[in-house]
Amino acid sequence: MALRRERNTWGVAQFVLAAVLAVVVLRLWYELNGAGDGAGDAVLGNRGFMFAGFAAALAAGWFGHSSYPRVYNFKIYVLSVGVAVVSLAAVLLIFLGPRVIGSPVVIFYPATVLVSYLCLLFVFVVTVIAPEYLGYHVTRKLTLVIVGIILGWYALGLGIPVLRRFLAFQLTNVGDAESTAFWALSSAAAVVLFLSLFTEAHSTGIGGIHAGGVLLLSVGWLAPGSDILLHAIVITALPVLVAVGTLIHWLRRLENRASYDPLLRIYNRGWFDRVLDDQSRLDTRPPFSIALIDLDHFKAINDTHGHDAGDTVLREVAQRVRGAVLPHGTVARFGGEELAVFLPQHDETMARDLLEAARRALAERPVTYKNTPIAVTGSFGYAVRSERGQPLSIVLQAADRALYAAKDAGRNQVKSARLHRRTESAS
């Protein structure tokens, strides 16, 4: 078993929060509809409802915007800002739209809701497939493009009378399993759910926000007898989930910052030392493998392409190795251009298979820096703790000897060192 942060960060807490919010939304909707005397319509026209929606949307946007300089996560930034923009637009249009545009509420409200659903699912699809890390300027530009697309869809969908009536008709019949809107919304939600489960297992809670978000949204079109009031409550509740989920993501990332290398985006040497001192949550019971990886000819890369290129290569190498060993192992920076890999419950054969996969991940594809391909390879040395009496420091020394054996044998290969009670040998 690897660290909990590496194995169990999909976002179960966020998903449970979404389920609780879904129950609360349905309960509130039932109570308002049961109150009679137009209680539901009164809520839609109530300033308190508008201010609650504004507050939730602004909270989501603020948490997302404020988190970026601290966690540098493209997904959480765009997700928070996108949901905030859609929710603000939806609440504003539901409250003021019919008076400004002069469209009957029986057409304007459903059209607004369907455009909002489509925009929210668009934001979810983009962020579930996007990488977590992009440069600050790229993040800002892409976010502005996404916001522009959202506002453009609102302008087209609500500004063109024919399209407005079409959208209203589609939402009015969304409860019909044969309707286009039902299948479009449900298909997009299913895609987000599937991708969140299989691509965001190590996203520090973002997977739970995505899956929980589509769960909450789907209440709007799957609940029997759903109406504009239910849709409005759902759209107002979603930014609450995103705001809380973003805050949880932010706090967990800050909690781990002391153990985090910000350049390579893996664990740092301090965390590595705590594992060796048996002061971490890592399971070090035998069999437990330790590997050391040295980037071949890294000085030549720095001398030829510059230190910025060297940093880019180091970061890409670290992420490729991490991707190759997860979820079975954990990667840390050992020093300079050297990485360390811990593989709990991996014997010599299992460890070699994973490390060979990591070696191939480096060698088979160059790193691109400013449109220039840079070939990279790594030398790998590892050793296995097979008995409890073997100190991890001795296993590390054996892995270091194996690493030098790999370099002496020509680099770009994997070598192991077997520990015995009295002797060690490299192979």
CA-CA distance, 186 to 1, in Å (whole number)? 36
Beta strands in 262-407 (DSSP E): 266-267, 288-295, 330-335, 338-344, 367-369, 372-374, 378-385
Q: What are 103's two structure tokens? A: 């469209």
CA-CA distance, 404 to 314, in Å (whole number)? 20
CA-CA distance, 33 to 41, in Å (whole number)? 9
Cβ within 8 Å of residue 35, ≥6 positions away: none
Q: Indicate if 337 belongs to the active site.
A: yes
CA-CA distance, 376 to 406, in Å (whole number)? 16
Q: Which helix or strand (DSSP H or E) is residue 422 part of?
A: none
CA-CA distance, 123 to 129, in Å (whole number)? 10
CA-CA distance, 203 to 412, in Å (whole number)? 31
CA-CA distance, 331 to 293, in Å (whole number)? 10
Which residue of the set 337, 364, 387, 424 is catalytic?
Answer: 337
CA-CA distance, 44 to 55, in Å (whole number)? 16
Q: How many helices (H) and strands (E) does the chain have?
A: 16, 10
The residue whose two tokens read 């925009």 is 119
* 306 Ramachandran zone, left/alpha/beta (phi>0; psi -120 to 50): left
Coarse DSSP helix, strand, coil percentages of the chain, rounded to the nearest 5 percent: 65, 10, 20
Burial 363-377 (b: 16+ CB within 10 A, else e): eeeebebeeeebebe
Residues with catalytic annotation?
Answer: 337
